[in-house]
């Protein structure tokens, strides 16, 4: 129980140090890794299949999450200054 508490505390402390891009990659890797582990475990009916599926899923999830992040566009306000806005 103490180990879990230490890991959770460290994760919360480090979560504040991430940028939005890193946040998106991390969540994609977590979702992809979890899904890949389940699918790999069911398909391979072994721990090795679950581990391989988790690794492949985490890598794919991080890559897909990073490549699908919303971009930023810019426009000019009435004073001629460049203003960053969310792309439509």
Per-residue pLDDT 10s for the chain (88 aa) are 666 666 666 666 655 555 667 777 888 888 888 899 999 989 988 888 999 999 999 999 888 888 877 667 778 888 988 888 876 5
Neighbours of 52 (CB within 10 A): 17
| DSSP annotation string for 54-66 | HHHHHHHHHHHHH
Q: What is the DSSP letter of 17?
A: T
pTM of the model: 0.59
> How do the domains of the chain map onto residue ranges?
20-86
With b for 16 or more beta-carbon neighbours within 10 A and e for fewer, the 9-41 pattern comes to eeeeeeeeeeeeeeebbbebbebbbebbbebbb
């Amino acid at each position: 129980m103490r180990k879990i508490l230490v890991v959770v505390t460290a994760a919360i402390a480090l979560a504040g140090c991430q940028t939005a891009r890193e946040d998106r990659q991390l969540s994609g890797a977590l979702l992809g890794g979890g899904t890949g582990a389940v699918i790999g475990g069911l398909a391979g009916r072994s721990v090795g299949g679950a581990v391989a599926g988790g690794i492949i899923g985490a890598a794919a999830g991080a890559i897909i999450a990073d490549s699908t992040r919303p971009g930023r566009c810019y426009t000019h306000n009435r004073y001629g200054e460049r203003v960053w806005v969310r792309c439509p």
